[in-house]
Amino acid sequence: MNVSATASSVPELRPGSAAKSLRDVLVVTRRNVIRTIRIPEVVVLSLVQPIVFVLLFAYIFAGSFSLPGAANAAAYREYMMPGFFAQTIAFATAGNSSVSMANDMQSGMVDRFRSLPMARGALLTGRTLADLVQNVMVMTVMVLCALLVGWRIHHGALRAAAAFALLLLMGYALSWVGVVIGLSVRAPEAAATSNFLWLFPLTFLSNAFVAPSTLPTVLRWAAEWNPLSATVQATRQLFGNPGLAATGAWPAQHPVLVSLSWSVLIAVVGRTLAVRRYRSAGT
Reply yes or no on whether the pLDDT at 16 is more than 80: no
86, 77 Cβ separation under 8 angstroms: no
Sort 8 into a burial class: Cβ within 10 Å, 0-12 / 13-18 / 19+: exposed
Q: Output the pLDDT for position 61.
A: 66
Whole-angstrom distance, CA of residue 103 vs CA of residue 95: 12
Question: Can you tell me the mean pLDDT for 17-28?
Answer: 85
- 161 pLDDT higher than 80: yes
Percent of the chain with pLDDT over 70: 86
- Lowest mean pLDDT of 9-18, 34-43, 51-60, 243-252, name the range: 9-18
Tell me the one-letter amino acid at 31: R
Cα–Cα distance for residue pair 37/80, rounded to 1 Å: 31
Closest CA to 94 of 270, 265, 277: 270
Higher-confidence position of 134 and 36: 134
pLDDT of 11 over the 50 cut = no
Which of 7-11, 82-86, 232-236, 268-272 is predicted least confidently? 7-11
Distance of CA 274 to the CA centre of its chain: 16
Please say if the pLDDT value at position 236 is more than 60.
Answer: yes
- pLDDT (average), residues 102-119: 82
Region 209-231: what's the mean pLDDT? 88
Average pLDDT over residues 251-268: 94
Residue type, 59: Y
Under 8 Å between Cβ of 103 and 188: yes
At position 212, the amino acid (one-letter code) is P
Average pLDDT, the chain: 82
DSSP output for the chain: -HHHHHHHHSPPP-TT-HHHHHHHHHHHHHHHHHHHHT-HHHHHHHHHHHHHHHHHIIIIIGGG---TT--SHHHHHHHHHHHHHHHHHHHHHHHHHHHHHHHHHHHTHHHHHHHSSS-TTHHHHHHHHHHHHHHHHHHHHHHHHHHHTT----SHHHHHHHHHHHHHHHHHHHHHHHHHHHHHSSSHHHHHHHHHHHHHHHHHSSSSSS-GGGS-HHHHHHHHT-HHHHHHHHHHHHHT-S-------HHHHSHHHHHHHHHHHHHHHHHHHHHHHHHHHT-
pTM: 0.85
Q: Which pLDDT does position 181 carry in this prediction?
A: 93
Give the pLDDT band (50/70/90) at residue 266.
Answer: very high
